[in-house]
Amino acid sequence: MRDGAPVPLRLGGREFVAGRPAVMGVINRTPDSFYDRGTTFAFDAALRAADTAVQRGADIIDVGGVKAGYGEHVTAGEEARRTVPFIAELRARHPDVVISADTWRAEVASECAEAGADLINDTWAGADPDLARVAAEYDVGLVCSHSGGLAPRTDPHRVAYTDVVADVAATVTGLAERAVELGVGADRVVIDPTHDFGKNTYHSLELTRRLAELTATGWPVLVAVSNKDFIGETLDAAVTDRLAGTLATLAVSAWEGARVFRVHDVAAARRALDTVTRLGATETGNGGV
């Protein structure tokens, strides 16, 4: 396990240092996503949403072509058709923005990297072992996640851990170390506790409470909690009424040292995270009053 002070994260020619949260805006090129219900499935609609996200402060745009949970089967070819041309157009429109490809398939990741993606966001914990090799081949970043051993697009059933944070830490750092051994740059690796994937609400809340144990590993931590079910269950809130809970969780996560934040509402997240940054600067005597 990597211990010590946080190290820079370098993606797409940009450097993301500790203390300046990076906002990752979500673009779902799917007709059945849990949150936007297909709002950005159409190519032009997705481009408009990406343009808006960049304008509102997104550092990274995360492009996905398959719904995370249950739904219609999507072949690798169809996933690539949804994501690869879009990434190519996004690269041309926003040359300075980091582009992330949300996929667990090595063959799709390879095409996305060819099209201009700077990061592979694997939310299924290395289900395809060749994904890290693709990241190494194209010299792009890799998100190493934890899904509790679940196969892609499956939900947990009566999942249990002796210590969920310890299990997550061992898994994601192990995947990170494997990625580096395969040739992925250490400064291009991100770890993600992956709230709600292979976890119940208690587990996701515990990960947030103890997130500092993950940031202490030295690997940059990505938090993807936006509008997730654990927030909805905690607040008894519908998907459309989880912004307040999302922002609260983002703020706590930022205070605990997370570096990258995957969100649906970029403007609100950017304001909340910038506030946390200023609070931190004031606390250490750097902000002035």
Catalytic residues: 228, 262
Closest CA to 195 of 185, 182, 207: 207
Task: For 2, list phi and psi in degrees, rounded to 5.
Answer: -85, 125
Distance CA(210)–CA(217), nearest Å, equals 13
Measured on CA atoms in the order 224, 46, 97, 20, is the torsion positive or negative? negative
**CA-closest candidate to residue 176, choices 124, 216, 220:** 220
- The answer to whether 197 and 148 are in contact (CB under 8 A) is yes
Task: Report the alpha-carbon distance of residue 220 to residue 37 in Å, rounded.
Answer: 31
Ramachandran assignment for 46, one of left (phi > 0), alpha (psi -120 to 50 degrees), beta (any other) = alpha
